[in-house]
Amino acid sequence: MSAHRPEAEVTTPHPESHGSSIPLLVVAGPTAVGKTDFAVALAERLRDMVTMEAVSADSRQVYREMEIATAKPTAEQRARLPHQLTDVVRPDEGYTLAQYQADATVAIADIWARGRLPLLLGGTGLYVRAVVDGLAIPAVPPDPALRATLEAEVAAHGVAALHARLTALDPVMAARIDAKNPHRLIRALEVCIGSGRPLSEQQGARPTPYRPLILGLNMERAALYARADARVDAMLAAGLVEEARGLAARGYGWGLPAMSSLGYREIGAYLRGEATLAAAVERLKLNTHAYIRRQLTWFRPDTRIIWLYAERPAEELAELAEGLVRPWIATA
């Protein structure tokens, strides 16, 4: 999946048939690559043929009151391309993968029933797989005692100890998830220990009603990192520090999963006096680079993805993609 090509290109898809009835366009890829701008431009180019409506596949955009670090679509973008499954729960409410899968299934069916084309849009690979492949989600209930033990382990030895423990039990899942996110590590360990099997072995696919066309955006790594850094700077200019401070003032604790996500985690360290603002921003940029690498590692094995190399403007990239999407829509 090299991104060192001078022009936007596509790779040959692997055709497959599931006897499906709902066409599902998917736009995926790493953070900051320009997925939303591309999706909006593509939807407008195809408006003479079909009206699209997006379903977010972003595990942080589900939270209300969290706008800047989650890079939610703007009001103008939503006016041009309606979005579902943003602003679903408060930052202090839980939202599981199973809930997302159920909500996305309903949203996609509703969009198709209204004569529109559903577009699954986002960079959370697990969310994309949960929908496209009907991911079987392990039915292991929360174990408060085990969680308390694991949280105590984090407090005593740091999150790296938790990641090392998951690596021993489930190296595949340990490589996929954020090594600095204790909440995801604890849940993965909870499933491994509670079921006696690695979580990665329990995430098989099930039949779905979809006929997907999966487009992935990528670009040369240094250019992508530079774009991500510029977006961090733009977030700060837009008021990220003030947003994080306001969330904490409203009683949302820094230990919540929502508050431990990119942007809020690093700015939280600054607001608590644990780092200077400059150090927090530098850490946010480095953590964003690491997240990009994890996203690409997640998507790389999926041979169904048609990769578009996204250095060119969104409108030009949409023109390239149009030649792929129109014939696919015509067979719906």
Predicted confidence at residue 19, as pLDDT, reads 44
Of 228, 238, 233, 169, whose CA–CA distance to 202 is shortest? 169
Q: Where are the alpha helices (DSSP H) in the chain?
A: 35-45, 75-80, 97-113, 125-132, 144-157, 159-169, 171-176, 182-195, 221-238, 240-249, 264-271, 277-299, 314-330
Please tell me the chain's helix, strand, coil percentages from 3-state DSSP, rounded to the nearest 5.
50, 10, 40
The parts of the chain modelled with pLDDT lower than 70 are 1-20, 139, 201-205
| C-alpha–C-alpha distance, residues 274 and 270, integer Å | 6
Residues counted in the chain: 332
Question: Cβ(147)–Cβ(84) under 8 Å?
Answer: no
Predicted confidence at residue 199, as pLDDT, reads 77
Question: Cβ(177)–Cβ(184) under 8 Å?
Answer: yes
| C-alpha–C-alpha distance, residues 64 and 2, integer Å | 36
| C-alpha–C-alpha distance, residues 46 and 191, integer Å | 43
Residue ranges, CATH 1.10.20.140, the chain: 144-201
For 53-75, b/e burial (b = at least 16 CB within 10 A) is bbbbbbbbbbbeebbbbbbbbee
What does the radius of gyration of the chain's CA atoms come to, in whole angstroms?
20
Which residue type, as a one-letter code, is found at position 155?
A
CATH of the domain spanning 144-201 = 1.10.20.140
Predicted confidence at residue 115, as pLDDT, reads 97
Predicted confidence at residue 202, as pLDDT, reads 67
Beta bridge partners of 23: 211
Q: Looking at domain 22-137+203-330, which of 3.90.79.10, 3.40.50.1820, 3.40.50.300, 2.40.10.170 is its CATH number? A: 3.40.50.300
Question: Cβ(247)–Cβ(65) under 8 Å?
Answer: yes
Whole-prediction pTM value? 0.82
Predicted confidence at residue 273, as pLDDT, reads 98
Residues ≥6 apart with Cβ < 8 Å to 296: 1, 30, 218
Predicted confidence at residue 321, as pLDDT, reads 98
Biggest CA pair distance of the chain = 60
Q: Write the pLDDT tens digit of every residue in 8-64.
A: 333 333 334 344 589 999 999 999 999 999 999 999 999 999 999 999 999 999 999
- Environment class of residue 6 by beta-carbon count within 10 Å: exposed (0-12), middle (13-18) or buried (19+)? exposed
Predicted confidence at residue 18, as pLDDT, reads 40
In this structure, what are the phi and psi dihedrals at residue 212, rounded to the nearest 5 degrees?
Answer: -85, 150
What's the whole-number average pLDDT of the chain? 90
Predicted confidence at residue 10, as pLDDT, reads 37
In this structure, what are the phi and psi dihedrals at residue 193, rounded to the nearest 5 degrees?
Answer: -75, -40
Predicted confidence at residue 29, as pLDDT, reads 98
Please name the residue that has the structure tokens 């198709």.
112
Q: What does the DSSP 8-state code read for residue 250?
A: T
